């Protein structure tokens, strides 16, 4: 290792480290979206298979175009939490209907989703709180990336 690095170059390389870390922000947000997207597809397939198992008709419906631009990690996870709260209200609505209709198999099936939504809201809240607490600095995001990756 050189004793004395040329100061200007050293300064610029340190700036570059910061820039590279900054470049990681949107990718980290996207990575979270991708892993979540796979989980959501599995949720959709659970409903799909449940209807199939019961001999009921699956009707795939049109879906709105999703956003293609991502905001800061905090903004992204605020949207994630808001969306999960919406999904929870949907699951609860289904459950209410199943209770009114005395559809016991659907009630049992939906219990997994009731619990899952508790986890999903908790997960999104924890990430959001950590982002608010740790800030959106490169090092805070790297630590969070590691923590999320080990789940
Ligand atoms: Fe399938 Fe994130 O709710």
Domain covering 7-149, topology: Ferritin (1.20.1260)
| Sign of the C-alpha dihedral computed for residues 56, 62, 36 and 123 taken in this order | negative
How far are the Cα atoms of 31, 52, 72, 88, 115 from residue 137, in angstroms, in the given order? 17, 47, 11, 31, 33
Counting atoms of ligand 1 from 1, which one is nearest the CA of 120? 2
Tell whether ligand 1 has an atom less than 6 A from the beta carbon of residue 87.
Answer: yes
Tell whether ligand 1 has an atom less than 6 A from the beta carbon of residue 113.
Answer: no
| Model confidence band, residue 89 (pLDDT cutoffs 50, 70, 90) | very high
Q: Residue 30 pLDDT > 80, yes or no?
A: no
pLDDT, tens digit (0-9, with 9 covering 90-100), for 17-26: 877 777 666 6
| Model confidence band, residue 131 (pLDDT cutoffs 50, 70, 90) | confident
Tell whether ligand 1 has an atom less than 6 A from the beta carbon of residue 94.
Answer: no
How far, in Å, from the CA of 74 to the mean position of ligand 1? Answer: 19
DSSP string of 117-133?
HHHHHHHHHHHHHHHHH
Per residue, the 3-state secondary structure of 55-118, as one string, reads CCCCCCCCCCCCCCCCCCHHHHHHHHHHHHHHHHHHHHHHHHHHHHCCCHHHHHHHHHHHHHHH
| pTM of the full structure | 0.76
How far, in Å, from the CA of 130 to the mean position of ligand 1? Answer: 21
Q: Residue 29 pLDDT > 80, yes or no?
A: no
Least confident window among 18-27, 36-45, 70-79: 18-27
Please give the Cα distance from 10 to 52 (Å, whole number). Answer: 63
Please check whether residue 106 is in contact with residue 114, taking contact to mean a CB–CB distance below 8 angstroms.
no
Tell whether ligand 1 has an atom less than 6 A from the beta carbon of residue 84.
Answer: yes
Please check whether residue 121 is in contact with residue 81, taking contact to mean a CB–CB distance below 8 angstroms.
yes
How far, in Å, from the CA of 94 to the mean position of ligand 1? Answer: 14
Mean per-residue pLDDT for 89-111? Answer: 95
Counting atoms of ligand 1 from 1, which one is nearest the CA of 87? 3
For 88, list phi and psi in degrees, rounded to 5: -60, -45
Tell whether ligand 1 has an atom less than 6 A from the beta carbon of residue 43.
Answer: yes
Structure tokens at 148: 């999320």
Nearest CA to ligand 1 atom 1: 40
pLDDT of residue 133: 85
């Amino acid at each position: 290792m050189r004793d004395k690095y040329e100061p200007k170059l050293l300064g610029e390389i340190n700036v570059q480290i910061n820039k590279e870390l900054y470049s990681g922000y949107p990718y980290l947000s996207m990575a979270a979206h991708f892993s979540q997207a796979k989980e959501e597809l599995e949720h959709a397939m659970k409903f799909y298979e449940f209807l199939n198992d019961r001999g009921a008709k699956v009707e795939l419906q049109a879906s709105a175009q999703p956003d293609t631009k991502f905001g800061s990690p905090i903004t992204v996870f605020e949207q994630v939490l808001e969306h999960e709260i919406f999904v929870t209200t949907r699951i609860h609505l289904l459950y209410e209907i199943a209770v009114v209709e005395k559809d016991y198999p659907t009630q049992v099936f939906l219990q997994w989703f009731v619990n899952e939504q508790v986890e999903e809201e908790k997960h999104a809240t924890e990430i959001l709180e950590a982002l608010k607490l740790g800030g959106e600095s490169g090092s805070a995001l790297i630590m969070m990336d590691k923590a999320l990756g080990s789940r």
